[in-house]
Structure 1
Amino acid sequence: MKTKLSLLTLLLSFILIATSCVTVQVKDNTVTQTSLEIKKPKNIILLIGDGMGLSQVSTAIYYKDGKPNFERFHTIGLSKTSSSNELVTDSAAGATVFSTGEKTYNGAIAVSKDTIPLPTIVEHLSKRGLATGIVATSSIQHATPASFYAHVKSRRMYEEITEFAPNSGVNFFAGGGLKFFNQRKDGKDLLEEMKTKGYEVITDKLPTTPSEKNELILLAENGMPKMSEGRGDFLPNATKLALEKLSKNEKGFFLMVEGSQIDWGGHDNDADYLIQELLDFDKTLGVALDFAKQNGETLVIVTADHETGGYTLASDGSDYNKIKPSFSTTGHSGTMVPVFAEGPGAILFNGIYESNEIYHKIMELLKR
């Protein structure tokens, strides 16, 4: 009996250390669970690797010098990505589930299946006084970033999407998309409107320190350059700048960061393009995880809207010591995508679930 109690006590101690959220009592060799509490984060960083499936993540293992930042996560789940009307989702519907919690049709930007605007997580949190930010290597009007602040029936309505920016409540924008502000068919100059709304507009280079004002940083006419074209450390540095700015808010913050061009490499069936973008995204994960580790109140979530390219890390013929990346499609696939989580509340992201559950888990953790 004494041996059994010792083993039981040891097991319970391990569980308590591993979860830091379960309180138990042992009496007469009986385990009684008295409470279940999950520590809630003050801040959430959501990093989206557009088009990033498990093979894309595995790329970091084979092509990065050193240990990938993906391996720093201790909680991993799987997300089912189908849209409301098709088995294979696109980025618009795939991001709308993260921003609104509702499955919708391919092409929809934060609107329902009936094209009714859906409140976004940015809108909810801004009203509560939390700081919000959006960073992408695409234009900020592209499907994923747009789904967090705009409401239109089609992802291709870039000028209409841009009109939501001045009143979006987003405190920090960084990416491309300048031409949709100042080279518009309707002749409007939305850069001036952004300034009128209190934004500092920056179009030359990424600042080294954050502004006291809200920031609109647009460093390309449309999407940002590829890594192979000299983009450099824009994504990790913009993420670092955003965190420095948003973390000053005492109520907390929500930051969405997208590695947009992992998807574009997949569409092009260009393995070199994909690999460089994936490694840039992994470097950005390091920035987020380092911040969260030091801060102690930040949950980092990494996932994808879908997989692109049917990307495979096959062997080079019969040479099992050589990897030869290959593709099965120039479009998207229906494979599940990984969900990584680290920090307070990470335990909620274990398991297999529909992609829109990620929104609901985030909102539950940020409930006050």
Structure 2
Amino acid sequence: MIASKYLIGIGIGVFLFGSVKAQENYKDKDTELVFKNKQVHEVLQVNVDEVKFKKKPKNIVLLIGDGMGVDHIFAGITANKGQLNLQNFKSIGFSKTQSADDYVTDSAAGGTALACGKKTSNGSIGVDENGNTLKSILEIADANGLATGLVSTSAITHATPASFIAHQPKRSMYEEIAADFLKTDIDVFIGGGNSFFTDRKDKRNLVSELKEKGYQMYTDLDAAANVNEGHLGVLTAPEHNPEYTQRGDMLLKASDKALEILSKDKDGFFLMIEGSQIDWGAHQNNVSFLTGEVLDFDTVIGEVLKFALEDKETLVIVTADHETGGFAVVGGDINKGKVEGGFVTGHHTGCMVPVFAVGPGASEFGGIYENTEVFNKMLKLYGFTK
């Protein structure tokens, strides 16, 4: 009887979340419990302990695998036949993800904790639980003369990227979040969400307004290939980008473009890159979807790690805002790249999530701590104050 009630509760929860808006339909169940990888990607072979990084980071790249827990990562390791770029990271800790009003956080509160160093209520973007505006690490970096960027496979107005640039009481306020981009001096942003900038209730065309501010605006990443300086915005889809099987190497190209532009700032930069759809695959209880997204994310981790190894003054952090699905690897075959998985829920869980770091200050990220400490550690290593 208890099990029946539990399953009914899950079903109702998935229905409610999935029917809120088209923006949330990635939470609709599409259960698939086995994945066999057909294309193993190359992994960097390096001993980071032998690399002589600078003592203090000039640049920080924060990579967030949305919903990515330990077993999601091990699914990736298994599918890629025993290796991920992430395994080159030697400084490893765990963050506790509870929000200000719930044991199980959502991406808005989780993203705000990472971005702003403050626990807030579920659904809140860049504000505390009383609605007061919080300064994000991106905004603080910008105020201190650094270049800044956001890259995401979701809409750029979605909860996690929005937490770094917007200040709204509800994550569903996509048009208001888009308008907040006009209040910043972010150098590069690449992700979906074009409709929230151009097809709006208030009839504003934010793309035109961004162009007036000096932004080079595109809806196609390839069309922006020759842009290598200045302010750049690429809105790659009307809402979210498609999943990894359909979008190709969009996240890799977007991350490379952001690094190309931001690294020209002599004062340094802050860049957040989100692998959004690991979370979506877990919401759907779909092992193929989530594992493929982990593999896509790891190719980007490898590219950023390569940049940091050459640069010597870039700190790279990889973490998650929460765990999704209560996912467990229950079987598989590393030699065949085969993963078998199971799920406890179609929603998030309260599990700790890992934090990996390489580069100047990486040792700061060992141990177990609150998710807000990721912000505090970045702030400390930059040498900035709130």
The bucket for the TM-score relative to the shorter chain is 0.7 to 0.9
What residue number does 1:220 align with?
237
Measured in 2, the distance between the counterparts of 1:65 and 1:240 equals 26
- Contact 2:108 2:163 (C-alpha < 8 Å) held by counterparts: yes
- Residue identity (%): 48
Gaps of 5+ in 2: 1-48
1:190 corresponds to which of 198, 206, 218: 206
Rg: which structure is higher? 1
Post-superposition CA distance 1:180-223 (Å, at most 9, x none): 01111111111100101110001123333434320110110001
Measured in 1, the distance between the counterparts of 2:82 and 2:326 equals 26
Pairing 1:55-66 to 2, within 5 Å after superposition: 55-65=71-81
Q: TM-score normalised to the size of structure 2? A: 0.83
Q: Does residue 350 of structure 1 match 2:366?
A: yes
The verdict on how the C-alpha distance between 1:20 and 1:136 changes in structure 2, with shifts beyond 3 A counting, is closer
Measured in 1, the distance between the counterparts of 2:84 and 2:52 equals 26
Runs of 4+ in 1 over 6 A off after TM superposition: 17-21
Post-superposition CA distance 1:201-247 (Å, at most 9, x none): 0112333343432011011000111112x211111111111111100
2:326 corresponds to which of 291, 310, 325: 310
Amino acid at match of 1:302: V
Q: Does residue 277 of structure 1 match 2:293?
A: yes
Q: Does residue 76 of structure 1 match 2:83?
A: no
SS of equivalent to 2:125: coil
Pairing 1:103-142 to 2, within 5 Å after superposition: 103-142=119-158
What residue number does 2:25 align with?
none
The structure that is helix-richer by fraction is 2
- Contact 2:150 2:272 (C-alpha < 8 Å) held by counterparts: yes
Post-superposition CA distance 1:349-368 (Å, at most 9, x none): 01000000000000000016
The structure that is strand-richer by fraction is 1
Measured in 1, the distance between the counterparts of 2:90 and 2:159 equals 30
The verdict on how the C-alpha distance between 1:217 and 1:20 changes in structure 2, with shifts beyond 3 A counting, is closer
What residue number does 1:28 align with?
none
**Equivalent residues, number:** 331
Measured in 2, the distance between the counterparts of 1:342 and 1:44 equals 10
What residue number does 1:291 align with?
307
RMSD over aligned CA atoms reads 1.8
- Contact 1:200 1:211 (C-alpha < 8 Å) held by counterparts: no
Amino acid at match of 1:141: T
Post-superposition CA distance 1:54-74 (Å, at most 9, x none): 000111211015621011101
Q: Does residue 87 of structure 1 match 2:103?
A: yes
Measured in 1, the distance between the counterparts of 2:137 and 2:91 equals 23
Post-superposition CA distance 1:271-327 (Å, at most 9, x none): 1111111100011100110000000000000000000011110137xxxx9742111
Measured in 1, the distance between the counterparts of 2:159 and 2:105 equals 12
Q: TM-score normalised to the size of structure 1? A: 0.87
- Contact 1:55 1:313 (C-alpha < 8 Å) held by counterparts: yes
SS of equivalent to 1:165: helix
Gaps of 5+ in 1: 1-16, 22-37
Measured in 1, the distance between the counterparts of 2:264 and 2:310 equals 15
- 263-272 vs 47-56, which deviates more? 263-272
Measured in 2, the distance between the counterparts of 1:347 and 1:18 equals 14
Measured in 2, the distance between the counterparts of 1:315 and 1:70 equals 21
The verdict on how the C-alpha distance between 1:280 and 1:18 changes in structure 2, with shifts beyond 3 A counting, is closer
